[in-house]
Amino acid sequence: MLLIRRFEEECGVQYMQGRIRGFLHLYIGEEAVGVGAISALRDDDYIVSHYRDHGHAIARGLDPSAIMAELMGKATGVSGGRGGSMHLFDKSKGFMGGYAIVGGQLPIAVGLALAISQMRQDRVVICFFGDGAVNEGEFHEALNLASLWNLPVIFMLENNLYGMGSHIDRTHAAGRDLYTSADSYNIPAMQVDGMDVMAMREAAEEAVHRVRAGDGPVFLEAITYRYHGHSMADPVKYRDNKEVDEWRGRDPISRFIDFAVGENLIGPEDLAEVQAEVEATVEEATRFGIESEEPTIESMYGHVYG
């Protein structure tokens, strides 16, 4: 979680300096969801993500240097500089892409789960999406087919309370209980504290066990919060600082540190070692991204399907 936090903070710096261009959607505040959920998976399971995908990629173990290079549009990036911030991809890690179209990743995840089912493989797909995607037609189509076909997919809703600049209370009849949407498709669902990495891990392990046992899809809703705007281009005029401060008081990293220290799992020396390692990793990733080569003009014809 700390690596994701520091990596994202550095991304914001590089964006302001013009090295990262286009849109940049930071994951700061939501780290417990990705880390808790992904830590419950096996290496051969699949992950499908959305445009706020940096945290998921790091939690899955993608190389931070290659991720930073991708954000900077460099040839050494995980997608060869073609994808940028919203389209990280690494098949070797089962990380089957971030998708910029809201809800567009849901049919992809169901397709992967259908392939797993038809090939009788012992694998699981986890699909991350935001609360805004629940209003899309793909959401309902994906849940319906997954339920009908009893597919091995976990629908992981990251409810950060805002779809771009609109609060969830203004956009969803279900309010803050979006997990009840799964009831219509006979998919077991639960709501989880997305600011608590241990709660996320426990819920994800239970979901993975059920799905891997052949009992069909599961729906998890994590209540979480993004500290920054929808993207770096967002002035965040739709919420006040008091709300942000209240959620920062539930910060997932601070909460886990307090828990781990209280249980004597780590001490000050351990924490200092982790922090130093994280700083070195982020520093190296930034250096690698800046010094990497731009894609060649000729490479624009690669990976093109006619």
Q: Name the β-bridge partners of 190.
A: 220
Q: One-letter amino acid identity for 262?
A: G
Q: What is the pLDDT of residue 171?
A: 83
CA angle 123, 70, 229 (to 5 degrees): 90
- Separation of alpha carbons 82 and 259, rounded Å: 41
Architecture category of domain 2-290 in CATH: 3-Layer(aba) Sandwich (3.40)
Q: Where are the domains of the chain?
A: 2-290
Tokens of 4: 């994701």
Q: What is the pLDDT of residue 300?
A: 85
Label residue 216 left, alpha or beta by phi (over 0 means left) and psi (-120 to 50 means alpha): left
> Which H or E run includes 157?
strand 153-159
- Separation of alpha carbons 103 and 117, rounded Å: 22
Nearest to 72 by CA among 31, 17, 28, 34: 17
CA angle 222, 225, 230 (to 5 degrees): 120
- Separation of alpha carbons 26 and 236, rounded Å: 13
Q: Please give the model's pTM, rounded to 2 decimal places.
A: 0.95
Q: What is the pLDDT of residue 169?
A: 84
Nearest to 185 by CA among 138, 133, 148: 148
Q: What is the pLDDT of residue 174?
A: 66
* Mean pLDDT, 10 residues at a time, the chain of 306 residues: 98 96 95 98 98 97 98 96 95 96 97 98 97 94 98 97 86 80 96 98 98 97 94 88 94 96 93 96 98 92 81
Pairing mode, strands 189-193 and 162-163: unpaired
> Which H or E run includes 218?
strand 218-223
Q: What is the pLDDT of residue 157?
A: 98
